[in-house]
Amino acid sequence: MTRWAAAVEYLGTAYSGWQSQSHAPSVQAALEAALSKVAAHPVAVSAAGRTDTGVHAFSQIVHFDSEARRSDYAWLLGTNSNLPEDVSLRWVQPVRADFHARHSAIARRYRYVIHNSRSRSALLEKRATWINWTLDAEAMHRAAQALVGELDFSAFRGSECQSNTPMRCVTDIGVRREGDFVLLSIRANAFLHHMVRNIAGTLIEVGQGKQPEAWVAQVLASRDRTLAGMNAPAAGLYFVAADYPDEFGLPATPDFWLP
């Protein structure tokens, strides 16, 4: 039995999220079906994190076990030939038996992409969140620094969150402008349900001048979700990568943003 790790890229528009569900299409189900064809036996995968309906991924890390004798390239080529066009493996490699895509991860990284233009883009439909009100990215960045540290993120927690604790450790968060795009990047040990989208919605209000920069810290301290901003649309959210100890030897993930 060999344990394999792989990076999965997907456009989440057509899926009900990462996790398999009996009533709707999921990325996990599509990937397991493709891997099972290559392995010639049922294959189950575990992922670094679960993404919601409409959320995309640049490098979702998964692992699976198989007795099938296949090369790295055979897994890659064979699986991709059986996947829909909006899901693709980027690399596959054998890993130690104690590697676990979820439990071995020391951090996850997300990026929220805002197309900040007076006119909407047809090409970016469902791939970025369009806001035609000019955003102050520098003010958003300054306000976001209140979220760095091991903190109680109850104010940014979705109502359906099943985590036992609202405590999360954000190690880095930044907002920057790239032309007509405003990019929110965040790294943490783990995330609560809708946490990034709720943070994005809150920072957008600061960027629009509707709230002062200090408001973000006040919302965090309140632990009250009703005081935070909107739950920003899923279309702008990307799971960028998960980080692991160097001992596992996984490929580094390059920086990523749209377009």
- Give residues with Cβ within 8 angstroms of 49, minimum separation 6: 18, 60, 102, 105, 108, 190, 191, 239, 242
Q: Is 98 a catalytic residue?
A: no
3-state secondary structure the chain: CEEEEEEEEECHHHCCCCCCCCCCCCHHHHHHHHHHHHHCCCCCCEECCCCCCCCEEEEEEEEEEECCCCCHHHHHHHHHHCCCCCEEEEEEEEECCCCCCCCCCCEEEEEEEEECCCCCCCCCCCCCEECCCCCCHHHHHHHHHHHCEEEECHHHCCCCCCCCCCEEEEEEEEEEEECCEEEEEEEECCCCCCHHHHHHHHHHHHHCCCCCCCHHHHHHHHCCHHHCCCCCCHHHEEEEEEECCHHHCCCCCCCCCCC
The answer to whether 110 is a known ligand-binding residue is yes
Catalytic pick from 52, 72, 98, 243?
Answer: 52
Cα 21 to Cα 218: distance, rounded to the nearest angstrom: 38
- Residues annotated as catalytic are 52
Pick out the residues of the known binding site. 110
Pick out the residues of the known binding site for substrate. 110
